[in-house]
Chain A
Amino acid sequence: MSGDWETVIGLEIHAQLKTRSKIFSGASTTFGAEPNTNACLVDLGYPGMLPVLNREAVHLAVRFGLAIGAEVADRSVFARKNYFYPDLPKGYQISQYELPIVKQGTLTIVLDDGSEKVIGVTRAHLEEDAGKSLHENFDDSTGVDLNRAGVPLLEIVSEPDMRSAQEAVAYMKAIHSLVRYIDICDGNMQEGSLRCDANVSVRRRGAKEFGTRAELKNLNSFRFVEKAIEFEVERQIDVIESGGTVVQETRLYDPDRHETRSMRAKEEANDYRYFPDPDLLPVVVGTDLIEAVRKELPELPTARRERFMEEHGLSAYDAGVLTAEREMADYYEAVVQSLGGEPKLAANWVMGELAAALNRDSLAIGDSKIDAGSLAGLLRRIGDDTISGKIAKDVFEAMWAGEGDADTVIEKRGLKQITDTGAIAAIVDEVIEKNPAQLADYRGGKDKLFGYFVGQVMKATQGKANPAEVNRLLKQKLVGD
């Protein structure tokens, strides 16, 4: 059935900005504190308390705007979004409404097939987070934790440019990568530092008008984004194909039951009564600030990916993987720099052994037990034939376990490759002598037995023999000239 349908998706991503204090108060933004210990009187909405804008939050928003090639508004305005809820202490949320700080940018995403697509970013605006209702441990009451209240958020609103759940995930990953790249958000989705709502609709392929959309909430992982959208698309198509109409509503994704369900009945729809907040002056961003922020902007993922492809000769895939995280790309570049070349060897090891070890021990690259210089030291020993690539993996594990740098491990464990032709020749002779039956079969045409002899030589040398030399000598001696 789905062949006739086109999916249209726009995402609203809330990124928590990396500021020490809240957007309108001096309270800490540290995650995980005891309830209500990071909430000051401003956050609690006490009478007479007034908001004062955190300058750093503005800088971070500007940095994002520049990173997506957007227009940074010289004047943006905070408004009040009025509604009653226990986790909203003032009875209104301060958010930018008609005049956001960032307008009209773009972000390029790379799809699984390697193709690129440009997604429009309609706007990004500053706002304060609400608190959290606690429904457990209060008998028949509800607790309120206001630690999050007033935490600075950048709400990044995309155009409805995505046409599949996979594109939506790719876009969210690109935002996730970018915000960490430019260091405005820690990207920690478990802690809610990056959250996503998806506006999803379907329409007959070729139709000009968009269908009625549903807003999906609570998509706090890439997998949930994909699953929830896929479910919702199926649901909407079912509704329409069975003669119904899609209702514009907010729906909550339930990952346990893998379904979305309606959150608010329509009659409870809020009229937020937005109006400019008279407690705050318009945010004025001058060209001086924009230029200062531009200077501190790092090389962005897209540019870096292209540079890795051009300068290092990496494939689009490898360059994409290495640039997805700024720390990963920095690490890789440090290895290449230390090695003085060999970008492909460095890429293979960073994406292979290193990534696997980090993953196994659940470590971030910043906490890697082998630093870039040490990894380069190991790769240098492969390059100068001190050890084989296979032995290098053992050395890597020893280094990871804290046995010292590559040279120490090679020395201590006696792993130095045997390159002495005479020594290897003696072992080759010995192996051939011990395996007369195999020798006869090989000479009788069983070419596959060559591998067997290589294995025996390597076994006898504990893998230390230079593989190229072993091959050369075996070929020569097995023939029996």
Chain B
Amino acid sequence: MSGGDIKTLAAALASGETTSVALTEQALAAIGVHGGALNAFITVDGERALAEARAADERIARGEAGPLTGIPMAHKDLFCTEGVKTTAASRMLDDFVPPYDATVVARLRAAGAVMVGKTNLDEFAMGSSNETSYYGPVKNPWDASCVPGGSSGGSAAAVAARLVPYATGTDTGGSIRQPAALSGITGLKPTYGRVSRYGIVAFASSLDQAGMLCASAEDAAHVLGAIAGFDEHDSTAVDEPVPDYAALLGEDIRGRRVGIPREFLSEGVMPGVRSAFSAAADELGALGCTVEETSLPSLALSVPTYYVVAPAEASSNLARYDGVRFGHRAENPADLADLYERSRGEGFGAEVKRRILIGTFVLSHGYYDAYYLRAQQVRQLIADDFRKAFETYDFLIGPTTPTAAFAIGEKTADPVQMYLNDIFTIGVNMAGLPACSVPMGFDGMLPVGLQIIGRAFDEAGILRLAHHYQQATDWHTRVPEGFAS
């Protein structure tokens, strides 16, 4: 797709140089060529997309277009879409067609976005490699033998291959930032409460947050402007004004204080990642920021804490999939217990079952205090660390992940190794903070990401810093070979 960023596309649409129908046809064609090999999509609905594109063209002709009107995009298949199958990449919801739109979907629809399809993900967003999907793993466009990261792996691969300019994602422990890093694109996880969770299939309610994967910080600003804001359907959505993120990108960043927590450069960080990060930090210094080392002493506790809190909430959130009202139902159940056991046994994959078991265990009588309650206390410690750091620094940075993309199948046998891939992203979710990942170079042939963490509700600041970085570098413009840019 020519000049696949939102600003260029919107300008081309406004000038009549192209039409939404043409862009949508191009996107559908690109998905037709590459979608199958990448396995990035679970559902593609061309007919519906073209209908939306025609409506968008009419809207553009009437002069009522916004920055996203008529531009093709995709939703992670965790967002409920009215009339379009929403699977959460689980056999459990293989035939589930919601009669409602998630708030994010509704807001993008209202903005004139054209949804071409639903992207692949780890089952119920539980995974870091997109390998737990009922619909099979997604391939990394930079190297088809590698994972794209997860859980928003389909969205990441689709954007990395420029099949669509942007796609939605959700981030519970890194599920936007980690695949953005491993796929060489930009991903933003907003502050918890910034974007409504209504209509998103829940994984861990106190951590889940919707965001986007796209080509640049500037594109992220346009998408965030459309989806952020209070929603009466979500009690945890915060009633906080939504700034014009795109308009604020150009403001000065000189003199901003940037901290590098030394925990982000621990032993497990690969040399290639380390050197790319070092160059990125220098670049921020060259842009006029003061960059210095700091510490988040409790950060090491974030992975074990997360693997108590998230499964606990998931075990409860996934109890509704019981074969009674919707979703997979076992055939000819002998009795109620049989209906539950077989419907859930057949409907859920291994990783989901593992987390339900962990979650059920940590909430059980006699274990609650030792696990769940303790985890909540540690979570507070982690949040306090961030709070203290932000008394001194405007931003905290580090590599998004300790390594570049790993091979498909490399970590599936060892869940703990898999979980450790999120070691730098999980703390942000525990503290509810906003953070983005932007491309900062390569380790060999594979892209690596820079994570920028900000104060709560300072998405504007994060995007501004990322935008200035992207003005000074071209990592975000790199597209894997074989995919049109």
Whole-angstrom distance from the CB of B275 to the nearest CB of chain A?
40
In the docked arrangement, what's the CA distance between A380 and B319, Å? 67
B12 within 8 A of A: no
* Residue in B closest to A78 when the chains form the complex, CB atoms: B235
Note all chain B residues with C-beta closer than 8 A to A49: 198-199
Q: Is the CB of B340 within 8 A of A45?
A: no
Q: Is the CB of A82 within 8 A of B236?
A: no
Note all chain A residues with C-beta closer than 8 A to B325: 44-46, 89
Tell me which of A121-129, A278-286, A314-322 binds B.
A278-286
Q: Is the CB of A50 within 8 A of B234?
A: yes
Q: Is the CB of A275 within 8 A of B363?
A: yes
Whole-angstrom distance from the CB of A44 to the nearest CB of chain B?
6
* Residue in A closest to B337 when the chains form the complex, CB atoms: A84
B336 CB contact (under 8 Å) in A51, A86, A89, A274: A86
Contact flags (1/0) for B192-222 with A, using CB distance below 8 Å?
Answer: 0000011111101110000000000000000
A279 CB contact (under 8 Å) in B98, B205, B322, B363: B205
Q: Is the CB of A278 within 8 A of B313?
A: yes
Q: Total interface residues on B, using CB and 8 Å? A: 43
Q: Is the CB of B360 within 8 A of A273?
A: yes
Note all chain A residues with C-beta closer than 8 A to B100: 41, 46, 48
B235 CB contact (under 8 Å) in A91, A274, A280: A280
B326 within 8 A of A: yes
Note all chain B residues with C-beta closer than 8 A to A280: 235-236
Whole-angstrom distance from the CB of A33 to the nearest CB of chain B?
18
Q: A91-B322, A92-B316 are in contact. Are A50 and B197 (CB under 8 A)?
A: yes
* Residue in B closest to A83 when the chains form the complex, CB atoms: B319
* Residue in A closest to B232 when the chains form the complex, CB atoms: A52
Q: Is the CB of A50 within 8 A of B102?
A: no
A53 within 8 A of B: yes
Q: A82-B319, A92-B319 are in contact. Are A47 and B324 (CB under 8 A)?
A: no
Which B92-141 residues have a C-beta within 8 angstroms of A? 93, 96, 98-100, 102
Q: Is the CB of A47 within 8 A of B205?
A: no
Q: Is the CB of B312 within 8 A of A275?
A: yes
Q: Is the CB of B93 within 8 A of A47?
A: yes
In the docked arrangement, what's the CA distance between A86 and B323, Å? 10
Contact flags (1/0) for B360-403 with A, using CB distance below 8 Å?
Answer: 10011100100010000000000000000000000000000000
Note all chain A residues with C-beta closer than 8 A to B201: 47-48
Q: Is the CB of B86 within 8 A of A47?
A: yes
In the docked arrangement, what's the CA distance between A78 and B88, Å? 27
Note all chain B residues with C-beta closer than 8 A to A274: 363, 368
Q: Is the CB of B316 within 8 A of A273?
A: yes
A90 within 8 A of B: yes
Whole-angstrom distance from the CB of B92 to the nearest CB of chain A?
10
* Residue in B closest to A269 when the chains form the complex, CB atoms: B365
B426 within 8 A of A: no
Q: Is the CB of B320 within 8 A of A47?
A: yes
A47 CB contact (under 8 Å) in B88, B236, B313: B88
* Residue in B closest to A272 when the chains form the complex, CB atoms: B365
Note all chain A residues with C-beta closer than 8 A to B364: 271, 273
Q: A41-B99, A279-B205 are in contact. Are A52 and B233 (CB under 8 A)?
A: yes
A195 within 8 A of B: no
Q: A271-B364, A275-B363 are in contact. Are A46 and B326 (CB under 8 A)?
A: yes
Q: Is the CB of B340 within 8 A of A281?
A: no
A144 within 8 A of B: yes
B80 within 8 A of A: yes
Whole-angstrom distance from the CB of B365 to the nearest CB of chain A?
5
Q: Is the CB of B197 within 8 A of A47?
A: no
* Residue in A closest to B208 when the chains form the complex, CB atoms: A278
Which B224-256 residues have a C-beta within 8 angstroms of A? 232-236
Note all chain A residues with C-beta closer than 8 A to B93: 47
A217 within 8 A of B: no
Q: Is the CB of A51 within 8 A of B235?
A: yes
Whole-angstrom distance from the CB of A375 to the nearest CB of chain B?
49
Which A254-290 residues have a C-beta within 8 angstroms of B? 271, 273-275, 278-281
In the docked arrangement, what's the CA distance between A142 and B324, Å? 11
Note all chain A residues with C-beta closer than 8 A to B205: 278-279
* Residue in A closest to B92 when the chains form the complex, CB atoms: A47
Note all chain B residues with C-beta closer than 8 A to A80: 316
Which B310-364 residues have a C-beta within 8 angstroms of A? 312-313, 315-316, 318-320, 322, 324-326, 336, 340, 360, 363-364
* Residue in B closest to A281 when the chains form the complex, CB atoms: B235
A89 CB contact (under 8 Å) in B236, B320, B372: B320
In the docked arrangement, what's the CA distance between A400 and B436, Å? 78
In the docked arrangement, what's the CA distance between A275 and B100, Å? 29
Note all chain A residues with C-beta closer than 8 A to B233: 50, 52
In the docked arrangement, what's the CA distance between A84 and B339, Å? 11
In the docked arrangement, what's the CA distance between A275 and B197, Å? 20
* Residue in B closest to A81 when the chains form the complex, CB atoms: B316
In the docked arrangement, what's the CA distance between A286 and B359, Å? 35
Q: Is the CB of A84 within 8 A of B319?
A: yes
Contact flags (1/0) for A228-251 with B, using CB distance below 8 Å?
Answer: 000000000000000000000000
Note all chain A residues with C-beta closer than 8 A to B79: 48
Which A275-327 residues have a C-beta within 8 angstroms of B? 275, 278-281
Note all chain A residues with C-beta closer than 8 A to B315: 82, 273
A82 CB contact (under 8 Å) in B202, B206, B363: B363
In the docked arrangement, what's the CA distance between A274 and B204, Å? 16
A45 CB contact (under 8 Å) in B86, B312, B320: B320
* Residue in A closest to B199 when the chains form the complex, CB atoms: A48
Note all chain B residues with C-beta closer than 8 A to A275: 312-313, 316, 363, 368, 372
Q: Is the CB of A91 within 8 A of B319?
A: yes
Q: A48-B201, A51-B235, A144-B324 are in contact. Are A273 and B363 (CB under 8 A)?
A: yes
In the docked arrangement, what's the CA distance between A385 and B254, Å? 99
Note all chain A residues with C-beta closer than 8 A to B96: 47
Q: Is the CB of B235 within 8 A of A52?
A: yes
Whole-angstrom distance from the CB of B393 to the nearest CB of chain A?
29
In the docked arrangement, what's the CA distance between A309 and B322, Å? 59
In the docked arrangement, what's the CA distance between A44 and B199, Å? 14
Q: Is the CB of A278 within 8 A of B206?
A: yes
In the docked arrangement, what's the CA distance between A60 and B297, Å? 46
* Residue in B closest to A279 when the chains form the complex, CB atoms: B205
- Of the candidates A90, A142, A275, the one having the most CB atoms from chain B within 10 angstroms of its own CB is A275
Q: Is the CB of A84 within 8 A of B234?
A: no
Q: Is the CB of A279 within 8 A of B99?
A: no
Note all chain B residues with C-beta closer than 8 A to A89: 320, 324-325
Q: Which 5 A/B pairs are nearest by Cβ-Cβ distance?
A: A91-B319, A278-B206, A273-B363, A278-B205, A48-B199
User: Apart from A47-B201, A274-B368, A279-B236, what are 4 other A-B pairs with CB-CB below 8 Å?
Assistant: A45-B325, A47-B80, A273-B364, A279-B235
Interchain residue pairs with CB less than 8 A apart (25): A46-B100, A46-B325, A47-B93, A47-B326, A48-B102, A48-B201, A50-B197, A52-B234, A52-B235, A82-B315, A84-B340, A86-B324, A86-B336, A89-B320, A89-B324, A90-B319, A91-B318, A142-B336, A271-B364, A273-B315, A273-B368, A275-B312, A275-B316, A279-B235, A281-B235
